Structure formats: structure tokens, C-alpha cells
Structure 1
């Protein structure tokens, strides 16, 4: 079997102008980036349909380190819907170079369920992440320059929230000192780097409805506090216009295609374990205006990306999902049942049965929202009929049905049954009910997430977090939605607690106010906003020959 990149390199790609036309876009509505990708213009003069298509949200159980194929199933399902005669589009996030060069890999699907050009999308694509990095670090430079030029805003260097970013996993940059080298080199202070996808600018880009909303949100970013403990914003620094200029193209959604030539919009890339984990409002909304069915995904498990999509994105999008697909693999369920990563290919009904509790918690959590739910079993070659039967019997206890998908090997043909089920589920009446109300307290929101979504018992706030909530209440920030920054590998905040742990507490060590994005980030456990590389990073296996042909990119 050829590798993902070999399949992508052998594919016949349709000119992007033809893909745009098939999606209902006029030539003047796109800006081609070469032969096979384009930006979709933000033209207020273009009148698109107010009748939005059906929205299908793909999420998953808690994954293994390699991921469970959520993007692959998303692509395969969309291609299957197209095979069923439905006008379909995909809305996905852009890959970050961190996991591409690290461990998890890219985010373009796999096998015969991919979006292309795969290598371009996984690497520099249309430059959106570079623009975000440049804008973010421009703000850092302006902030440090203000300190150097007499500190007119009375910023306390010890209370600066705004770190620098780079789109690579680099643990050595988590904590740094800047401003060394004498009086001409700035004011010495402690600083650090986050990965670009954790930048508030990434969150803002994906939650903005237009260019002016982007600028307004940038103005609201809190970069730090004065010596009097008053917040300092980008509006105080006066550079929102310049940052918006740097992002004027990055805010435009990107149009590509699947191997089956289904139109795909790929835009924005916040991680779901440290940010909101969904593609942009503009990408999803544009797809909904153009297609009858839109398949989208939310990062990591339903406890992270799924919950954040439903409680943070949906209110801004103005459209609730018509069906939810939870992706599960036998491999991951056996891992949750206690099997070591090196033994996942061996049949183990006992471990599989034990690990099914993880899927059960996600089914319970997603059923809570009042939207029809189905399960997609992303089948691997080592999976046995007996293991598949065990999952299907278990899922039936929750009033749901599990469908075996083989999209990696067969593309859309491998998800025909799932597609038909999604069509039927999306036609049903649903009664979407959010997890919490906007005026609920931060503590109530936290407990709702922990108890209902994670199956935990309570939330424990550090002294610092308790003090912060009191300060936020005094400033009127305490009613903002919550973004939990939590490990993706467990329902708890301990990555080693697999399956469906009970009676656990989630420990919040501190909050980070992100007023531009419009939420509070709750940092749990030892979650890092700058990942590190593994012992054998993927970068060691990537190469290129004299003809420019890339190898090793999955």
C-alpha cells in the first residue's frame, strides 16, 4: 500500500477554478494561489444564500498519541455524501508545523480520504500561520519598545501576559529572558514562547465575522497590567490597525479539494487542548451558504474540541449541528482498557470491553446537547469482526448506532453506510441545548464541563485562580465562556488516567483572560502552551530529492 504522500502525489488534481465553480463561487470571488488552491474573498457585495445547509460535526473519543483518524473520517464522509448525490463541502482546520515536524502528523486526512495538495497544506500553505506569527510578534516588539521608550503606559514588566510565538514544538523556548545586552537592547524581563496555534490572534482569526470585527477584537486583547494592576490593551498600544493589515489576507478562507474533488475550505488552526480547536467562523459559514451538507471537525476528543465547538463556536456561528459523529478506533479503546501501545494490533476483547467506557462517556456527553449522534469506527487492518461486534452492541445501549468505515483504503466508498445514516439523522428534528447559559458564573460553567462532559466530580481552584476570578468579577469578565486547556489523552487532567475515571477533580492552576477572543482560558494540570518534540521527531524522516519530490511526510 502506498503512503499518504505517495497517494497524494499520484492524484489528478482539478484546477481550483473548476472546484470553485462546482462550489458555486464566481471567478471574481476567489484569489488563486497557483493551480490548486485559492483564497475566498471577503466581499460584502456578494449576496449568498441565507438558507444554510446541514452541519455535520465530527469529533472523537480520547485519542492515542498518533490520533484516531478524525480528519480522515471527515474527508471520507464528505466524499461519501457526494457519492450519494448530495451537494457537499468540508470545513477543516489548517495543520500546524509543530505536529507535522513532531509526532502526531498533519491534518489532511490519510490514504484515499485526503485533501490536496497534501504537502502544501501541511507545510506553508497560503502563509496564514506565518502572517499570524508575524502579527503576534509585532505586538511583542511594540510592547517591549514601549517599555524601552520610557514606559508611558506604566506597564509592569512582571505582569505581562503576551508571550512571543513560533509555529514549531520547541520546549527550550518556554521560558526565556529578553532585553539583555545593555541599555540599547531593551528592558530585561522574563518572557516565553507559545506555539502559534495557541496565540490569541489565532483564536480571534477563527472567531471573527469580518475584517472590522477582527480589528475590534484585536483592540480588546489584554497584553498585561500596570504597576497599579490595571489592564493594558492593544488599543492602549495603538497598533490594532497595523496588526489587522498583517492579517488582511490570512482572514480569507482557503479553498482546496479532496482526492474525489469535493470542495474543501481549510482555515485557521487552534489546537483543542490549549485553545478552542475549530476552524474559522468564516470557513464554516461560507461552506454552509454554498453547500447542502457541510462536514466539519473539532480537534481531539469530544471533551475538548466537541464541547468547545458546541458551547463557544455555535453561538457565534448561529447554526447548530444537525448530527454529531463520534470517531472511535478499536486500537484506542483497547489502549483505554489497559493495553500498551505496542500491543494494540492483538485481539483483546477483555481490554476492548473495559475501554468502551471512554466511548460511553463521550456518547453521554454529546447526547446531552439534544443532537442526533452516530459512531464511526475507523477500521484498521488488524481489527477483527468480533471486536467490531462488541463496539456495535455497546453503542446500542446509548440509543446510537456504530458504523464501520474504511475510508483510508476506499475513500468515500468506505463510508457509504455512515453517510446514509448521517443523511437520515440530519433530517430529524433536534432540540439543541447548550451546556451552560451566558450569565452562569465561571464556577458553574467549569463544574458543568467537568461533571457533564468529563464525568468528573468537581473543580478545584488554586489560590491564584480563586484570586483571579474575584478580580475578573470586579472587571465584569467573569461571565465569559470557558476554554479548558487540558490533556487530550484523558477525560481528567492527568494523561495517565485512561478509560472513564470516576470521582476525580479537575485542578485549575490559573486563568488567562482573552478578551479579544471573548473567553477565559482555564489552565489545568501541567498542560503546556508550547509542546516539545518527541525522542524521534517526524522531521528526521522527511526528505526531498533533486526533482523536488518530498518523501516521509506521512
Structure 2
């Protein structure tokens, strides 16, 4: 059966019953129908019990189809619940871009899914729509401001705030607005980003309260005056209006897995072009309500996990007690040079060649001083010889590896992993920061490139070098760095697979995200508005006269 068919045959519990499992009463939730709800923001605050464990799930560099990280995460949550551990999973909301494009949604798969799968992968509780509306309202207010008095002399050529859309649309990457005559606005070049890459998405995921949300929104730099002085939302006076549009979106969403483990699904920044972690509010709610909170970060340890540890963890006030790295036979063969259309064929030589990629990701997490467990996500095409090769190589690196079968068996197929995670999470650790925020922008970039990617150094373009000096002069140099790069390689070249060493990272531009509280470094050819593939997933979707969906996954 397909993921969708499994989901459609499942029996869900009323959301009030799921809430009761973690001590929430009817006054603590706002139902959105029978099977989903918003959770009161009061559970985002306070200091969690130090005995409550935080488990981070990351992965190696994936193939273009993804490696089932969410599936393993859901299976792990269900397995912990089956071991009588009070567990909550806390994951990101899917974007319509991958859902309608190539990679698919973010609700897991097989018998390790979050429910209601169709709702979550489409409109869910409206958070993505709220973020899109808020972002574009701000854009409209900015254009109206420059059309009218423009008292702060906001230069139309130096506006950096873009509109967004929650779908891949390459035609909107570069646009001209304000055409049609003097009454239609001030003509200027601009463009669209995908909603998951917007600064408002990052702000929503890092804000700890409505007050903090408004403060962060007020700090957003929308552009510069003709004298090149930064102009913020707060100076324009728009922060309250934008916050009002996000007053419900800031509340975490409650759903459930197929096995009825509570799932908090909130926020959805991509890890290759944004910071790739679900909201601080969701994770903190989990830590306050459960013994184990299992969360994730996008793509590999070079992207999502690095950003979780260097950007999100300081806001959260807690680092993970253990980290799970998801690996697959096919992704390692892909990193070893095997063609995408031949990944189901046994190839021990390609697997051996790709193994250094996994070992680099293990080293990355150990560099932070955190215990690691490798989850080998089993696919039906894997041979025993391939699985044994990975397990032996990981164990030779003094790391535990567990074969999981989350897709076919759900929590039952992930119990062995859960048992190892429990052991790892009880280990005493000392967290090692990658860099000090007081370091220069260049030094922070190089810290990531050399220590996480395994490269030589970051090479800043003339524009990026000029921006680094400008941002430092403006007092922004003490912010963490969020590097936007390809997810398919440890480098900024998607074709440079495995675990390369002799490479530099080309930083073409820096973007200030002062409201979010970090500086984005755009590398290589990374785009903040992706495009659809030749045959989008949308082509294979159908809906019958009764509203039943087919082909979603």
C-alpha cells in the first residue's frame, strides 16, 4: 500500500484524547476539527525538568528523493511510547513546494506517519497561509510607503524585503513591480522567495511569545535609505499589524501518529536556504510536557543539525541529550558515485566509497560533544551484505548502529533504536560550541566550513566582503551565521559527493535577518525560490467526486 492508503485506513483518536495523554485539558487546546488543535502558548514557558530528554534526529547527505528521516523520527517516537516513555514528537510543517514538486511531504511514511496526513501536507491549520499573508502585507505596506510621503527616504533600489509564495515557482524569482503609470506604484526590481525561506518563518520559529514576536518583527530590516542607512519595520510602524496576522500561527499545532503518540507540528523553514528547525515554542512545549521530546532538523548534520546547535539551541536554552543520524544504503551508494537509477542494485564498492560521508556526519556531532546513534533506515532493495558493511564500519568508528524498519513495522521496527537512544541520552556530556558569536563574520563562516563541511575556507565575493564590513559597522557582526547551500554535498557543489576535503565555499552574498537574529550567507547556486521538476508530483494527484484524494504520496 502507499503512504496515503495506509493513512486513509487508519483510525484516529479525537484530539482531546491525545491532549489528555500529555496532561492537557479542553481549556488548553483550540480544536481545528476533530483531529488537530492549537496548544495554548502558556506551555512554551518555564524551565523544563532537567530529567526530560531532548533527542535530535538528523541525517547524512541525501539523494534527491530524501532518505526517510521523518519516517525514522516518527517510528522512534512510537517506539519510545511503547517502552512506557511519555513521548512527544516535535517536527516541522510541510511546505507545498516539495509536496507538489519532487521530494514529497514531511509526515513520515508507511506505518510511521503523523495524522491527519492529508491535512498536514496541505493547509493544516493555516500557519503557512498566515505567514504568506503577513509577509506580503508587509511588502504592500512598504510599496505604499514609498509611493506616498516616504519620510525616511527609503530607496526603491535598496529594498530587500521580497514577497513570498508557498509553492516552487521559478518564474517569480525576479520580477518588476509598480508598472502601469504613476498611480500604480513606484517601478522597481524585486522577486519572490518561497514562504519557508522568509524571515517571518524564521522569526515565528524562534519567537518565545507574542511580545517577542512583535519585537523581532520590529527589528526586520526592509531596506536602506539613499544614504545607505538601514530602515526597519519598527521605524515604519507596521510591527503591530504584522503581529496581529500571526497571533494564531505562533501557537503550536497538536496532531498524532498512527500509533497515537502526540505530535507537535509547527513551523517549516527549509534547512538548505533557512535555519531548518521547527519552532522553539513547539520544542519547549514538548520538553515541558513529556519525558522524551524527539525533534528533527532538515537534511544532514552539515545543514539542519549545525543550525539547530548554533542558532536554535541558544534560544531554546537546551542542547540535545542524544543525536540520531539517519543513513541509508542507497544514499551512501549515491555518495559513492552510483547512478540514481541504479541505487536499488547491490554495489559494495560504491557503498565503501560513500561510507566516509556517514563517518564525517558522525564526527560532526561528536565535535559538539554529543552522543550519537546511527539509524540505518532499511529499504526493501538493501542486501544483507550492504547492511553488514555499514554496521561494521560504524562500529569500527566506536559508534552504535541500529537497523530500523520504521516504514514497514512502525514503532515495532524501531524499538532497538529507541533502546540505544535511551542509553545514549543518559550519558553525561559537555557541549562544545562551534564558534563564539563575538567572532567576526568571516571567522564564523570559516568555523563551519572547516569543522563541519571539511573544506578549506570560505571565499567571500567582493559584494559579500563589503557587506560583512557594513554589517559589522552596523553592530550586526555578533549574530550567528545561517549558511544557505546545497543539501546534496558537504560542499557548495551538488555534484561533489562523498566526504571531499580540498574545496572552498563561495559566499556570493550576505543577507541580514536581524529580526530572526542571524546573518544568511548565500553560497554557490543556491536559490531561495526553488523550481518544479520536469514531472511535478502534482501531475499524479487526483480527487474523486466524494473528495477522496489519490496520488498524494
TM surpasses 0.5: yes
Q: Who is 2:111 aligned against?
A: 112
* SS at structure 1 position matched to 2:180: coil
Distance 1:345 1:482 in 2: 38
* SS at structure 1 position matched to 2:494: coil
Kindly report which structure 2 residues correspond to 1:224-243, keeping only aligned pairs within 5 A, or say none: 224-243=223-242
Q: Who is 1:205 aligned against?
A: 204
* SS at structure 2 position matched to 1:298: strand
The answer to whether the aligner puts 1:176 opposite 2:178 as a matched pair is no
Q: Who is 2:3 aligned against?
A: 4
Q: Who is 1:522 aligned against?
A: 521
Q: Who is 2:296 aligned against?
A: 297
For residue 50 of structure 1, report the CA deviation from its aligned partner: 4.5
Q: Who is 2:68 aligned against?
A: 69
Q: Who is 1:385 aligned against?
A: 384
Distance 1:195 1:98 in 2: 8
For residue 364 of structure 1, report the CA deviation from its aligned partner: 0.9
Q: Who is 2:473 aligned against?
A: 474
Kindly report which structure 2 residues correspond to 1:39-438, keeping only aligned pairs within 5 A, or say none: 39-43=38-42, 50-51=49-50, 53-438=52-437
* SS at structure 2 position matched to 1:299: strand
For residue 150 of structure 1, report the CA deviation from its aligned partner: 2.9
1:44/1:15 Cα in 2 relative to 1: closer, same or farther (>3 Å)? closer
For the aligned residue pairs, the C-alpha RMSD in angstroms reads 1.1
For residue 490 of structure 1, report the CA deviation from its aligned partner: 0.4
Structure 1 range deviating more: 443-452 or 510-519:
443-452
Instruction: List 4+ stretches of structure 1 deviating above 2 A.
Output: 43-52
- Is the CA contact (8 Å cut-off) linking 1:52 and 1:288 kept in structure 2? no
Structure 1: gaps (5+ residues): none
* SS at structure 1 position matched to 2:54: strand
Distance 1:398 1:284 in 2: 31
Distance 1:333 1:324 in 2: 19
- Is the CA contact (8 Å cut-off) linking 2:45 and 2:284 kept in structure 1? no
TM-score, normalised relative to structure 1: 0.99
The answer to whether the aligner puts 1:543 opposite 2:539 as a matched pair is no
For residue 44 of structure 1, report the CA deviation from its aligned partner: 7.8
- Is the CA contact (8 Å cut-off) linking 1:56 and 1:296 kept in structure 2? yes
Distance 2:30 2:397 in 1: 46
* SS at structure 2 position matched to 1:137: helix
For residue 51 of structure 1, report the CA deviation from its aligned partner: 4.3
Task: Summarize deviations over 1:280-302 as a string: whole Å, max 9, x none.
Answer: 00000000100001110100111
Task: Summarize deviations over 1:89-141 as a string: whole Å, max 9, x none.
Answer: 10000000000000000000000000000000000000000000000000000
Structure 2: gaps (5+ residues): none
Structure 1 range deviating more: 13-22 or 466-475:
466-475
Structure 1 range deviating more: 41-50 or 64-73:
41-50
* SS at structure 2 position matched to 1:43: helix
TM-score, normalised relative to structure 2: 0.99
Distance 2:203 2:130 in 1: 13
Task: Summarize deviations over 1:62-83 as a string: whole Å, max 9, x none.
Answer: 0111100110000000101111
1:50/1:427 Cα in 2 relative to 1: closer, same or farther (>3 Å)? closer
* SS at structure 1 position matched to 2:275: coil
